[in-house]
Copies of this chain bind each other. A is one copy, B any other.
């Protein structure tokens, strides 16, 4: 039983339905909304509606966009022949921040994960295969997280697209820049040794 007005209870419930938000936090957030001005609260509600109404996936790379095609797919200055495959739009943002990559992307919106009941048909693998089948792509870079699910997904996709004659690569594994050897885990050290390069 609650001792708040029902409109406040409803809002607390909405916030509590968000991932990682417990009941106490949801209460704090709902009280914060009440402390906003009418206009600020409206602009919050509008931001939810606008994001939902305007943001959709790019028909080419499946990244999130509010235009017909995303700016990266539309760009003439980026290499068409190289496609970097990532699990989520956040990974595109991370790679773009590094300012090193100048090709295109493909966003899978997930990785193959039998434990979470995510199969190959639940993520955007078919769209990638179709892109590769259309030709013009010479290299596909797998940039999934270096965990079991990421590697399984990379191997699965690699088997599907290699027949089209594209080069399939993956991000280098190794010691993170600025990290200390002493604290690197065994798996990372092993990968770093395997991938050692001549200097």
User: Chain A interface (Cβ within 8 Å of chain B)?
Assistant: 2-8, 10-11, 13-14, 18-21, 25, 27-34, 36, 38, 41-55, 64-67, 89-90, 92-93, 96-97
Interface of A is mostly: helix
Distance between Cα atoms of A21 and B21 in the complex (Å): 10
Shortest CB-to-CB span from A134 to chain B, Å, is: 25
B4 touching A93, Cβ below 8 Å:
yes
Q: How many copies does the complex hold?
A: 2
Shortest CB-to-CB span from A117 to chain B, Å, is: 16
B32 touching A18, Cβ below 8 Å:
yes
Checking B3, B7, B32, B66 against A5 with a beta-carbon cut-off of 8 angstroms, the contacting residue is: B66
| A54 partner residues in chain B, CB cutoff 8 A | 5, 7
CB nearest to A28 among chain B residues: B19
Checking B6, B14, B34 against A43 with a beta-carbon cut-off of 8 angstroms, the contacting residue is: B14
| A6 partner residues in chain B, CB cutoff 8 A | 66
A51 touching B18, Cβ below 8 Å:
no
Q: Apart from A30-B51, A34-B51, what 16 extra A-B contacts exist at CB < 8 Å?
A: A2-B93, A3-B93, A4-B64, A4-B89, A5-B54, A5-B65, A5-B66, A7-B53, A8-B64, A14-B43, A14-B44, A21-B29, A36-B52, A41-B48, A42-B49, A45-B48
| A38 partner residues in chain B, CB cutoff 8 A | 52-53
Distance between Cα atoms of A6 and B50 in the complex (Å): 10
B49 touching A41, Cβ below 8 Å:
yes
26 residue pairs from A and B, CB less than 8 Å apart: A3-B93, A3-B97, A4-B93, A5-B55, A5-B65, A7-B51, A7-B66, A10-B47, A10-B50, A10-B51, A11-B47, A11-B50, A13-B47, A14-B43, A14-B44, A19-B32, A20-B25, A27-B90, A30-B51, A31-B90, A33-B51, A34-B64, A36-B52, A41-B51, A42-B52, A48-B48
